[in-house]
Amino acid sequence: MTPPFDAPLWLIGCGNMGGAMLQRWIAAGADPALVTVVTRTGANVPTGVRSLTAVPIDAEPATIVLAVKPQQLDAVVPLLAHVETPLLVSILAGVEASALATRFRADAIVRAMPNLPVAIGKGVTALHTDGGDVAVRAAATALATPLGLVEWIDGAAQFDAVTALAGCGPGFTFRFIDALAAAGVALGLGADQALRLATATVEGSGAMAARADVTPAVLADRVASPGGSTREGLNVLNADDALVDLLTRTLAASAKRNAEMAAAARE
């Protein structure tokens, strides 16, 4: 199978996530001339990338990346009805490979779940395919590697959980930063300063956790001296497993919605 950036690649849809992936691919050295973006209105794309409102007829894609909203799945089907591709990569949350296989003509299908920091090469992309073709896995890995961490998921049943954790996770993290800043304001800090402090604190803590040879729980204990101010705050978060319970319910709500979208796509 031809590596994804050495042959024509079509990006169907170019919203927040599709656009973030495209930006990073180009920044990482992908040839813009090999990329075609197809959207309903014509997307604003990096220089050299072809932007169309209809599927081109002058080339066959080696790779198609579906990056529309899950609710737009059936609107895309007629556009690609007569197109065959060696590799179809779908980032549609909740849409299973079987639902894609009944709608599109592809030799191989890979589900992908990127998250928004892929735009700066610090994202997470979870991948899953039902097939065992090594070349397919290598091509999908090459597509995702410029975006950040790549994780292959063995079971399709785990995909809703991965989507809730990593796919939706930036939204929850952004909300945490906002809440941390709001708590600082409640203690008397100015809003702008509190937000700067909260953002830098999360950025630095995340980078430290990523590089550490111990778990985040151990790092938290290292920060918290017995009887100190950090320990008092952690006592609030740890009481009755309040923080774990909150995040478990948060991820469960997201996973449930993914399952609902999967059920709708089967119809």
Q: Where are the beta strands (DSSP E) in 119-179?
A: 123-128, 148-152
Beta bridge partners of 1: none
Residues in Cβ contact with 72 at an 8 Å cutoff, skipping those fewer than 6 apart: 13
Domain positions in the chain are 4-160, 169-261
Pick the CATH number of 169-261 from 2.30.30.30, 1.10.3730.10, 1.10.1060.10, 1.10.10.10: 1.10.3730.10
Contact between 114 and 13 (Cβ < 8 Å): no
Residues in Cβ contact with 137 at an 8 Å cutoff, skipping those fewer than 6 apart: 127, 129, 152
Identify the CATH homologous superfamily for domain 4-160: NAD(P)-binding Rossmann-like Domain (3.40.50.720)
pLDDT in tens, 180-204: 999 999 999 999 999 999 999 999 9
Burial class (CB in 10 A: 0-12, 13-18, 19+), 224: middle
| Selection from 101, 123, 98 nearest residue 113 by Cα | 123
Record the tokens describing residue 265, joined without a space.
Answer: 């796509």
pLDDT in tens, 210-252: 999 999 999 999 999 888 999 999 999 999 999 999 999 999 9
Contact between 113 and 129 (Cβ < 8 Å): no
